[in-house]
Amino acid sequence: MTNAEPPKVDVLVVGGGPAGSAAAISLARAGRSVTIVDKATFPRDKCCGDGLTTLALRELEHLGVPTDDITSFTEIGGARLRSPAGREFTVPLPTTGTYAAVARRLDLDATLLASAEREGAQVLQGVSVSGASREGDVVTVDLDGLGPVTPSFVVAADGMWSTVRRELGLTPEGYRGEWHAFRQYGQGATGSARNELIVWFERDLLPGYAWSFPLGNGDVNIGFGMPRGEILSGKNMANIWRDLLERPHIREALGDDCTLIDRHTAWPIPARVGELPLISGSVMFTGDAAAATDVMTGEGIGQALLTGRLAAESILNGGSTTAVTERYERSVRQELVADHRMSVRLGKILASQRGAETALTIVAKSGRWGRRNFARWMFEDEPRAIAVTPRRWHRSMFNRPGAYT
């Protein structure tokens, strides 16, 4: 919906994706007045791998979003991994709840936004931010067709190319993210990819990887991701994509009848949480606008949901503008920065063929218990750096049930 008059806004959430919707659901449920604006009209697609880790699933459960509401939701029981040398093995997940799933962003984001509206958030679709300015702690946001608004707080959940961050002069010049990913949908998969989540650690992609995620009925999300560099022009990515699809082990996994549908898409992945600003005046940056994606896997949905919730909780705990935003910044740093640093270190090991092969061989030979706990770690059942952050230890670290138990 759109209005002719500028809305009276208490909390303005810019962006209706997972981070923005999580913040709005939490705020509206607690009785706070909140308005979401998004330049898109939902349902809209978002270029993504569509994977949901245990972190993302627990955040969705906390928000009260039933998986039955997400049309393409497909539960995953583990993963098949292929090392650079061609060693293939599976890593199973526990069966006590849901630890991993796949859902099209077209479905997930629309479901989350609808949940926010049901909780009482005002949702304004097709409304872009044309400007933002700050005086002291007060931030004014210009909304196309509606004029300027000066909310008590702004939750900037407007993605990698955050307009709010750019208009406030906080985006590093030339910043284009740490990774780049490429995705296309397929249908009619008949090989192992029909039912299995597969990750291929290809020699020429390290520390990146290629993937195939099942979406039910033979539909798959296929793609690859790798660190940004000169090689990653649009033309070169398309060439890499065509080459990957011709590799025998990938063709076998997809099956002869699998066909690509729709267009392929590419997108940058911002993964440097704690280095870009998390706050500015009354603004809290969340999700991709906070560069909160996992630098090792490219996963960002769980981090988006988490940062959106943390922004809402910071507001609900009250206090001055400075107290609220500084509380949010501390909470994000406590939750994500140590894990980011751990992922950076591990990424350096996976960057070489020898390092990746050694690591995956250890996992393959670790027995069922070891493979299962690697799968839990891989799908963010616990924070990436929990082993070196004792403040986050708890009694059920090794047997915590999944989401939606």
Tens-digit pLDDT profile for the chain (405 aa)?
Answer: 444 466 679 999 999 999 999 999 999 999 999 999 999 999 999 999 999 999 999 999 999 999 999 999 999 999 999 999 999 999 999 999 999 999 999 999 999 999 999 999 999 999 999 999 999 999 999 999 999 999 999 999 999 999 999 999 999 998 999 999 999 999 999 999 999 999 999 999 999 999 999 999 999 999 999 888 755 566 688 889 999 999 999 999 999 999 999 889 999 999 999 999 999 999 999 999 999 999 999 999 999 999 999 999 999 999 999 999 999 999 999 999 999 999 999 999 999 999 999 999 999 999 999 999 999 999 999 999 999 999 999 999 989 999 999
Q: What pLDDT is stored for residue 1 in this prediction?
A: 44
Q: What pLDDT is stored for residue 6 in this prediction?
A: 61
Distance, CA of 287 to chain centre: 7
d(CA 292, CA 284) in angstroms, rounded, equals: 13
The owner of tokens 């962003």 is 105
Whole-model pTM: value is: 0.96
Q: What angle do CA 336, 358, 202 make, to 5 degrees?
A: 80
Burial class from Cβ neighbours inside 10 Å (0-12, 13-18, 19+) for residue 113 reads buried
SS (H, E, C) the chain: CCCCCCCCCCEEEECCCHHHHHHHHHHHHCCCCEEEEECCCCCCCCCCCCEECHHHHHHHHHHCCCHHHCCCCEEECEEEEECCCCCEEEEECCCCCECEEECCHHHHHHHHHHHHHHHCCEEEECCCEEEEEEECCEEEEEECCCEEECCCEEEECCCCCCHHHHHCCCCCCCCCCCEEEEEEEEECCCCHHHCCCEEECCCCCCCCEEEEEEEECCEEEEEEEEECCCCCCHHHHHHHHHHHHCCHHHHHHHCCCCEEEEEEEEEEECECCCCCCCEECCEEECHHHHCECCCCCCCCHHHHHHHHHHHHHHHHCCCCHHHHHHHHHHHHHHHHHHHHHHHHHHHHHHCCHHHHHHHHHHHHCCHHHHHHHHHHHHCCCCCCCHHHCHHHCCCCCCCCCCECC
Start-to-end Cα distance in the chain: 36
Q: Are 286 and 312 in contact (CB under 8 A)?
A: no
Domain 11-71+101-175+272-343 top-level CATH class? alpha beta
Q: What pLDDT is stored for residue 3 in this prediction?
A: 45
- In the chain, which residues fall in CATH 3.50.50.60? 11-71+101-175+272-343
Domain 179-269 top-level CATH class? alpha beta
Q: What pLDDT is stored for residue 199 in this prediction?
A: 98
d(CA 253, CA 249) in angstroms, rounded, equals: 6
d(CA 400, CA 404) in angstroms, rounded, equals: 12
Q: Are 126 and 41 in contact (CB under 8 A)?
A: yes
Q: What pLDDT is stored for residue 2 in this prediction?
A: 45
- In the chain, which residues fall in CATH 3.30.9.100? 179-269
